[in-house]
């Protein structure tokens, strides 16, 4: 019996020695290669793009540009966010991303204390880099790594320049403002003010309103009742444009006014095509998405350190009705 056990043990040992020797020889064989990594193993950077305006034309383009670049760079990109500017849900999505310890967050900036607390304190403490896209929050207030998007100050100047070209150097211009102006709106307003200030014959009327439909309509109605000499409107917050037009059409023809807006709101392009507004600032959302992912990957791979704190600016252009006909 002992002999049988000894023989079996010897056979097992010889077999194991054979397997070990074969493995060693394979390693030193110049034709031998490590197994190819699966696609999942190659993807080791998880990036999340978060917006509070999911399923809108502007943010669909941002997402498409970002997704294409992520595929090219071998990163895993997820699109998160909320619908209809639901800020509570939007902020919760950011918090979840931070606690999930994603590799990077690309986010639509929101000028609130809650947003700044998340990016400046929580994201930093978890070591999660943040890049703002489309809407910026200054680095000192958010500790974001960089910003990708339009030069909103320049956009404001461009829209004011087009107004002067169309209306002339005299007239009353209403600037439709949000009661709670975000940083990007403040930059637009600054550009508009600077340009129109060069024309003493142009009177600027700054009208603040809440962001609900009935509030915009009430503000527009009040303005037109008190100031029958109004010549033009600029909706600094593009979301006001549709409601503004609706109230104007109730009492007169929109053709009697010069009206300008930005492409943030889905209705702006439709109104331009219908001839109900005279011009619109068009941004580069697809490029914003592409560039934000590219820069995040550069940062994560330590190819560009630090990123430009002043931001990476994408193209803006003035689009007139004649350009879209």
Domain assignment present for residue 239? The answer is yes
Q: Structural domain tally of the chain? A: 2
Q: Same domain for 257 and 232? A: yes
Domain assignment present for residue 248? The answer is yes
Domain around 195: 152-282
Q: Same domain for 136 and 163? A: no
Question: Containing H/E element for 259?
Answer: strand 258-262
Report which of 274, 156, 318, 173 is spatially closest to residue 233, judged by C-alpha positions.
173
The tens digit of pLDDT for each residue in 9-60 reads: 555 556 545 544 443 344 334 443 433 433 444 457 999 999 999 999 999 9
H helix intervals, the chain: 2-28, 39-42, 57-73, 87-99, 113-117, 123-125, 139-142, 152-167, 183-196, 213-226, 241-251, 267-273, 285-300, 321-324
Question: Is 52 in contact with 82 (CB distance < 8 Å)?
Answer: yes
- Predicted pLDDT of residue 126: 97
- Predicted pLDDT of residue 253: 82
Q: Same domain for 213 and 235? A: yes
CA 174 to chain centroid: 27
Domain assignment present for residue 245? The answer is yes
Question: Is 134 in contact with 108 (CB distance < 8 Å)?
Answer: yes
Please report which confidence band the pLDDT of residue 324 belongs to, taking 50, 70 and 90 as the band edges: low
Domain assignment present for residue 39? The answer is no
Q: Same domain for 233 and 126? A: no
Q: Same domain for 278 and 246? A: yes
Q: Same domain for 92 and 48? A: yes
The tens digit of pLDDT for each residue in 286-310 reads: 999 999 999 999 999 999 999 999 9
- Predicted pLDDT of residue 31: 43
Q: Same domain for 159 and 269? A: yes
- Which residues contact residue 192 at a Cβ distance below 8 angstroms, ignoring those fewer than 6 apart? 156, 157, 159, 160, 175, 204, 234, 236
More confident residue, 3 or 208: 208
Question: Is 274 in contact with 291 (CB distance < 8 Å)?
Answer: no
Q: Same domain for 182 and 274? A: yes
Residue percentage of the chain with pLDDT more than 90: 81
- Predicted pLDDT of residue 227: 94
- Largest CA-CA distance found in the chain, in angstroms, rounded: 115
The tens digit of pLDDT for each residue in 153-170 reads: 999 999 999 999 999 999
Number of other residues whose CB lies within 10 A of the CB of residue 289: 30
**CATH number reported for the structural domain that contains residue 300 in this entry:** 3.40.50.2300
Domain assignment present for residue 8? The answer is no
- Which residues contact residue 176 at a Cβ distance below 8 angstroms, ignoring those fewer than 6 apart? 207, 209, 216, 219, 233, 234, 235, 236, 237, 240, 244
Number of other residues whose CB lies within 10 A of the CB of residue 267: 18
Q: Same domain for 102 and 213? A: no
Give 171's strand partners.
202
């Amino acid at each position: 019996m002992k002999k049988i056990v000894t023989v079996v043990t010897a056979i097992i040992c010889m077999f194991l020695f054979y397997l070990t020797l074969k493995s060693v020889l394979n390693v030193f064989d110049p034709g031998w290669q490590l197994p190819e990594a699966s696609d999942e193993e190659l993807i080791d950077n998880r990036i999340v793009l978060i917006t509070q305006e999911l399923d809108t034309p502007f943010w669909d383009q941002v997402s498409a540009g970002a997704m294409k670049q992520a595929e090219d760079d071998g990163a895993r990109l997820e699109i998160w966010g909320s619908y209809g500017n639901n800020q509570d849900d939007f902020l919760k999505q950011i918090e979840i991303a931070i606690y999930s310890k994603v590799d990077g967050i690309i986010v639509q900036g929101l000028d609130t204390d809650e947003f700044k607390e998340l990016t400046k304190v929580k994201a930093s403490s978890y070591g999660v880099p943040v890049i703002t896209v489309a809407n910026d929050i200054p680095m000192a207030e958010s500790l974001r790594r960089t910003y990708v998007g339009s030069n909103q100050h320049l956009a404001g100047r461009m829209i004011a320049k087009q107004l002067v070209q169309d209306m002339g150097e005299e007239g009353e211009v209403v600037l439709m403002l949000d009661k709670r102006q975000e940083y990007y709106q403040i930059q637009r307003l600054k550009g508009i003010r600077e340009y129109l200030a060069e024309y003493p014959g142009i009177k600027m009327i700054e009208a603040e309103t809440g962001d609900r439909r009935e509030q915009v309509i009430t503000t527009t109605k009040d303005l037109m009742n008190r100031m029958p000499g109004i010549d033009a409107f600029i909706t600094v917050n593009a979301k006001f444009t549709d409601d503004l037009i609706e109230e104007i059409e109730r009492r007169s023809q929109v053709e009697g006014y010069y009206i300008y807006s930005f492409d943030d709101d889905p209705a702006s392009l439709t109104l331009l095509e219908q001839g109900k507004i005279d011009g619109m600032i068009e941004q580069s959302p697809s490029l914003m998405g592409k560039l934000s992912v590219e820069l995040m990957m550069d940062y994560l791979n330590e190819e560009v350190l630090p990123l430009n704190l002043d931001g990476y600016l994408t193209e803006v252009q003035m689009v007139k009705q004649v350009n879209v006909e």
